[in-house]
Structure 1
Amino acid sequence: MAEEGNGSGVEKRKRMSVGLYVSCPPNIKQAVNGSIEYGYHFIVTQLTHPNYTREISKIGSVIGRTDRVMNSSDWNRLVVAQITPTIDLDSEVEHIREHSKKMLMQELGFASHLGIPAIWISLTKPNNVQLARVLLEKLMGGFTYSVWVNIPMLHPSRFSCLAETQYDSWNWWNEFRTYCNYDKRLGLALNLSDSKHLVPPSELKRWIGEPVRAIIIPTSYFLINQHGKPVLSKLHQEVIKKFMSLDVQYIIKNDVDTNDISLYNRYIHFLGKKLFVGDTVSEFVHGFEDFLQNPLQPLTEHLETNIYEIFEKDDVKYDSYQRAVYKAVEDFPGEKTPVIMVVGAGRGPLVQAVINVGLILNRKIKIYAVEKNPFAINTLIHRSKEEWGNQVTIVNEDMRTYKPPEQADILVSELLGSFGDNELSPECIDGAQRFLKKSGISIPQSYTSYLAPLQSIKIFNEIRTNRPLDKTLQYCYETPYVTHLANFYEIAPSLPLFTFTHPNWIEPINNQRYKKLKFRAEQSCLLTGFVGYFDTILYKDVTLSIHPETYTPDMVSWFPIVFPLENPVHVEEGTWIEMSFWRVDSDEKVWYEWCLHNPVKTGIINPNGRSYFIKKH
């Protein structure tokens, strides 16, 4: 079976891993070899075989093929084991339940013995608590395989005129994984719905927020094109395209007479090239999808070279800053020389942008570069001598305490974080505006943070399973994380939270904030936290944004920020999600607190900044 998510480089993202569903082949080795010859990476099949009479009560009875028909590496790579579909641990009939349990235990044990990488279990009804209990028991007991839970994307009852009850298969899955304590080894094998009954867009977004391992495509869904080759409809192609941001595998299920099964595999690989969009952002973030990073603390921790290099690769951001400075200098009286101070200059990309503006406008500009990192100062001094002709005054001080020889006309900074204010841009610019003229301009002029309710069991499990040895689980769930979200569902559109404006001449300056937000869930979901974005007005109409609705194209400087909940919360369709959010400060630190009011009440998360805070000194 193909490995999941271990590729490197953009081409790996285009690679499609395709398996073949083979129901009870007479010879499993021949079935595996045949599928490999046709270009498939693995097969899905039952380990048991109807030719063998299973004696559940007898120890040592034969239940299926001997392991010697293939070597262990083939079992471990090339076979996903389907559990016998007739097993029913949640039957209302006791002897069926007991017999099914014994069969399941036998098959799970055999799969473990063979070293199978994943087992396939189908949910065929709403209540599966007994099945979940047995499975969780085995997972906790050390079984190493993944579990692929097979259900339809859209339950047939939704479009059947004979169905007495309409089921949402997502609810089946949600209850099942809840019983299993959201174990990260649980994933989904989703049956693609036919083109006449495609899953609604909102539900498709919700599926993309789930740990989908595979999409099952029956051969009967394929159309025959003018060249006599099987192809999928445009509608089906759009569904597959939506999943290409995830490491999803595809399984062909042959339900019609087919002469050449390899044609379907070759077509799926073709879709991998046709549908994948490799833009600047996807190239930059590859390998960082859903990877948790702690927000930077540039005030108290000197940034390293590799961090500066990453920032400086974002031409879009610096081009925008240059346009903002250009407009600000244009508005400055032509007979005067503007004094521009770049505060938090780093290794000088904003300084270069200011110099560029002077050259473009053929204007003399007096430039100061203020930076507290002594190692970055080394670079600034070198650039001043070798590149800038000593026209820049380099200052190795903290902008909040620096006493310049003159006041600035324009203050330029790039102190923004993923949440706008989370790297203490308000405190820094407020401190630096002491040396900005009352008529002066701050770039940025303002920035606003946003929050949206989030469903991402991937992020929830990343936090739970990557706990540092010296930290409690509570500490981990009271810490925000910067991450490029891929496997997630935004439950409701984001709402604006806090806005900061510069310069801020209102005394006394107060950067503490509080707001209560209210979101409505359009469908049932699992709330695991909140995702934060920001946008900023640099100057006049020059803006930057990581907000999904106004995202600055090709900008890669900032990933969203996630504020987690310690326990996932089930939210019913139409329910209001209500939460409070605080930005609090003291003489030494700034921190966030948040809590949920509805549909359940939680305690205040991160009170007094006990787990996460941003240091001022």
Structure 2
Amino acid sequence: MHEESGDEKRKRVSVGIYVSCPPNIKGAIETIFEYGYHFLVTQLTHPNYTRILQKGKFPASIGRTDRVLKSSEWSRLVVGELTSHIDVDSEVEHIQENSKNLFLQELGFATHLSVPAILISLTKSNNIQLARILNDKLNSGFSYSVWINIPMIHPSRYSPIAEMEYDTWDWWNDFRTYCSYDKRLGIVLELPDIKHNVPTYELERWIGEPVKAVVIPTSFFLTNQHGKPVLSRAHQDIIKKFMSIDVQYIIKPDTEGDLSMYVRYLHFLGKKLYVQDTMSEFVQGCEDFLQNPLQPLTEHLETNIYEVFEKDQVKYDTYQNAVYKAIEAFPKENGKVPVVMVVGAGRGPLVQAVLNVSYTLNRKVKVYAVEKNPYAINTLIDRVNNEWNNKVTLINEDMRTYEPPEKADILVSELLGSFGDNELSPECLDGAQRFLKKTGISIPYSYTSYLAPLQSIKIFNEIKTNRPIDKSLLNCFETPYVVHLVNYYQIAPPQELFSFTHPNWSEKINNQRYKKLKFQCKQTCVLTGFAGFFETVLFKDVNLSIHPDTHTPDMVSWFPIVFPLPEPIHLTEGAAIEVSFWRAESEDKVWYEWCLEAPVKGGIMNPNGRSYFIKKH
């Protein structure tokens, strides 16, 4: 199969072609390569070889000799389709037995040829015997991927004579559940014809699945005014959705015509439909990659992390706008100069924002930069001497214990994490507000976390299969991860969880929280965890957000945070999802606990922060 490199990776598409039993497989591969295709989908055995495999008598020949291709060609260029009429779930015993023998033989032949993937079509709802055989093989460690071929919409849903309707997602979900969500299982979806398009909510659910390829029959192409094949707008919209998860495409010829035109059109479509925006450029290579949240109070950030933060001009422009409005609102009488303290100054982007405002408004500002990282202070000293004309006072101390010579009018910080409070912004700013005047302003003023139920088998499998040697599997599932989510389905809209406001002049500050949220599932799906987001009010009407509905355009600083569940939970349409969530703390740490309460009750995750916590010291 094909992978693009560099800038072309997300613009071009990988296209294969289905050819049923070509007379000459070597010639077929050479021809499709000339046309521009990247791989061939074809049967591994040949229908000319009749195979009755009862009583263990295997015929000597089952198909073409493996010598028709080099091993490197079998292992890169051929997806092997298994015989479609095999029925290991037949209720007729001798058919079931013969089918099982045929199926095992073909699986063995696929192993012998080292093909990268095999293609198996599901043709009915009951596939338990098929799943058992494949699950045995998956657990015995065979090397190829298994592609399960199903239509996006089953014909029974629009047939006037069908006695019952089938949802092929249910077929797929049952099958992969039997196989314990093995990561080598993927889907090949057949595009529906133009008269029977997929509802948007179902398409979003498919985007949350491990879709390996989409099959497009040539009869679905229209002819434009130049006599060239094109897809309808509705089909283009479907393909655009799947571009986010980098699926491949399989052309299935069911009409006459020049086969090279279809692959050329799909390459064109890839460039036409793919939008290379700021976010997609920034996150390339990070898709669905698990990152541990930062521990900024106990671990000094490194240059590369500061560098990533500082690339987000939108965030700093928004902060600068908030500082501008705050200083503009500061009274001018008696020649008072506002005192601005940037706490957690890092390498100085917020300090620069404050100075920019001072120049723009032509107003003097007294600026302090408080930063505990001694290596970042080294950078700040250079900027004070060579960029800022000694207009900034540097303080190399922890904001929670620093005793300033004067109090600030404006406190500016960027201590927010993907969940708002998960990098201990509340604790830091509660400590730092000692040196803020009672009339002073904190930027940010407030922030709120949000939670949404999530289906992502990709994330579930990433956690399950990448366990560090020093952690148990339970530890891994009790750890939240920062993830740029791509291959996922958000089951319901996010709901508000915890809020914090600064300054907080309460006599007894309490940053522990508890809340129970209830969501409703609008279609059958699988719950694998919860995705967390946040919104913040910096000052008055100046906001930043990673909430999916209010996301600040082109801002790339924060990815969502994911709180996993140890096992996927099957949800039916209309089911209630209830989760309890805690923010807890002790003298030296802060942690989250979460517990699924419906549709089934689960154990409380991460009790006492046993698997994950944020250190205070």
Structure 2, unpaired ranges of 5+: none
Q: Secondary structure at the match of 2:9?
A: helix
Tell me the TM-score normalized by structure 2: 0.99
> In the alignment, what sits opposite 2:97?
98
Contact 1:369 1:392 in 2 (8 A): yes
Distance 2:591 2:68 in 1: 60
Q: Which residue of 2 aligns with 1:417?
A: 417
Give the counterpart letter for 1:348 in structure 2.
G
1:242-298 superposed Cα distances (whole Å, 9 cap, x missing partner)? 01111200000001122x111111101110110000001000001000000000010
What is the rounded CA distance, in whole Å, between the counterparts of 2:96 and 2:50 in structure 1? Answer: 19
The answer to whether residue 390 in structure 2 is matched with residue 393 in structure 1 is: no
1:314 partner letter: D
Post-superposition Cα deviations, 1:423-465, rounded to whole Å, max 9, x if no partner, equal 0000000000011000000000000000000000000000011
Superposed, 1:73-472 pairs within 5 Å as: 73-258=72-257, 260-334=258-332, 335-472=335-472
- 1: distance between equivalents of 2:264 and 2:368? 60
Structure 1 consecutive aligned stretches of length 4 or more whose deviation exceeds 6 Å: none
Distance 1:358 1:576 in 2: 53
CA distance in 2, matches of 1:600, 1:348: 49
Q: What secondary structure, in the 3-state scheme, does the structure 2 residue paired with 1:329 have?
A: helix
- 1:71 to 2:85 alignment: no
| Paired residue type of 1:29 | K
1:26 equivalenced with 2:23 (yes/no)? yes
Q: Which amino acid aligns with 2:21?
A: C
Give the drift of 1:25. 1.4
Q: How many residues align?
A: 613
Shift of 1:238: 0.4
Residues 460 and 35 of structure 1: is their aligned pair in 2 closer, same or farther, counting only changes over 3 Å? same
- Contact kept in structure 1, 2:344 and 2:413, CA below 8 Å: yes
Q: Among the aligned pairs, what percent are the same residue?
A: 73
- What's the secondary structure of 2:10's corresponding residue? helix
How far is the alpha carbon of 1:552 from its aligned partner?
A: 0.4
Which amino acid is 2:82 matched to? I
Do residues 51 (structure 1) and 48 (structure 2) align? yes
Letter in 2 for 1:38: Y
Which residue in 2 is equivalent to 1:559? 559
Give me the whole-angstrom Cα distance separating, in 1, the residues matched to 2:143 and 2:594.
36
1:293-323 Cα shifts (integer Å, max 9, x gaps) = 0000100000000000000000000000000
Question: Could you tell me which amino acid in structure 2 is paired with residue 501 of structure 1?
Answer: T
For the 8 Å contact 2:515–2:580, the answer to whether it is kept is yes
Pairwise CA distance, 1:58: 2.5
3-state SS of 1:565 partner? strand
State the distance in 2 between where 1:500 and 1:25 align. 66
Is contact 2:516-2:580 (8 Å) kept?
yes
Please name the residue that 1:40 is paired with: 37
Which stretch has the larger CA shift, 514-523 or 35-44? 35-44
Q: Which amino acid aligns with 1:480?
A: P
- The offset of 1:11, in angstroms, is 2.3
The AA in structure 2 aligned to 1:318 is: Y
Measure the CA separation in 2 of the matches of 1:8 and 1:354: 41
**8 A Cα contact 1:55 1:61, kept in partner:** no
Hey, what's the Cα distance between the residues in 2 that align with 1:287 and 1:115? 28
* CA displacement at 1:15 relative to structure 2: 1.5
Rounded Cα–Cα distance in structure 2 between residues aligned with 1:8 and 1:87: 39
Q: CA RMSD in A?
A: 0.8
Q: Deviations over 1:132-174 (max 9, x none)?
A: 1100111111211001100000111111111101011000000
For 1:193 and 1:35, locate their aligned partners in 2 and report how far apart those are by CA, in whole Å: 25
Letter of the structure 2 residue corresponding to residue 202 of structure 1: Y
Contact 2:51–2:59 (8 Å) recurs in 1: no
Q: Secondary structure at the match of 1:514?
A: strand
1:10 CA displacement? 3.7
SS at match of 1:147: strand
TM-score w.r.t. structure 1 length? 0.99
For residue 55 of structure 1, report the CA deviation from its aligned partner: 4.4
For 2:561, the aligned partner's letter is I
Give the Cα separation in 1 of the matches to 2:62 and 2:336.
91
Cα deviation, 1:200-235, whole Å, max 9, x if unaligned, reads 000000000000000000000000011111100001
Equivalent position amino acid for 2:538 in 1: L
Asked if 1:487 is matched to 2:484, the reply is no
Which whole-Å CA distance do the structure 1 matches of 2:119 and 2:250 have between them? 12
The amino acid across from 2:516 in the alignment is K
CA contact (8 A) 1:525 1:570 kept: yes
Cα separation, 2, equivalents of 1:90 and 1:470: 43
Between the aligned partners of 1:601 and 1:94, the Cα distance in structure 2 is: 41
Contact conserved, 1:10 with 1:278, CA < 8 A, in 2?
A: no
In 1: Cα distance, 2:362 partner to 2:352 partner: 15
